[in-house]
Amino acid sequence: MVLIKKDLDLIRGVVENSLERSFRDPENPLKKDILSFKSEILGEIQKLREDVTIVVGYRDKIENHNKRIKELEKIHPRGRHLSS
């Protein structure tokens, strides 16, 4: 049996219609899984954005600390004052 384009189009239409009806059903377990996963991902993205906001807010302080530490290390090599 050979399928012709008309047969393939009919099969495609049936499958697409079935999938559409399936995803409109609020009790569809696959739909619930997808929505749950989407919610989890969006929650993680929100947490990452908050973390980035915090880090950006402290960037100047961190850079200032790095500069201060380097200056202290120049005058305190190996954790000690330079001897005169």
- Find the helix packing angle between 29-75 and 5-24, rounded to 10°: 70
The answer to whether residue 48 is domain-embedded is yes
Q: Which two tokens stand for residue 80?
A: 């000690």
The answer to whether residue 83 is domain-embedded is no
The answer to whether residue 15 is domain-embedded is no
The answer to whether residue 40 is domain-embedded is yes
The answer to whether residue 7 is domain-embedded is no
- The residue range of the domain holding 45 is 21-76
For residue 28, the tally of other CB atoms under 10 A from its CB is: 14
Q: Which two tokens stand for residue 11?
A: 């099969």
The answer to whether residue 62 is domain-embedded is yes
What is the C-alpha R_g of the chain?
A: 31
Q: Cβ(61)–Cβ(55) under 8 Å?
A: no
The answer to whether residue 5 is domain-embedded is no
The answer to whether residue 41 is domain-embedded is yes
Phi, psi of 47, rounded to the nearest 5 degrees: -60, -45
What is the tally of structural domains in the chain? 1
* CA–CA separation, 82 and 77 (whole Å): 7
Task: Report if pTM > 0.75.
Answer: no
What is the full per-residue pLDDT of the chain (84 aa) written as tens digits?
Answer: 677 888 888 999 988 888 888 778 878 888 888 889 999 999 999 999 888 888 777 877 777 888 888 888 888 877 777 665
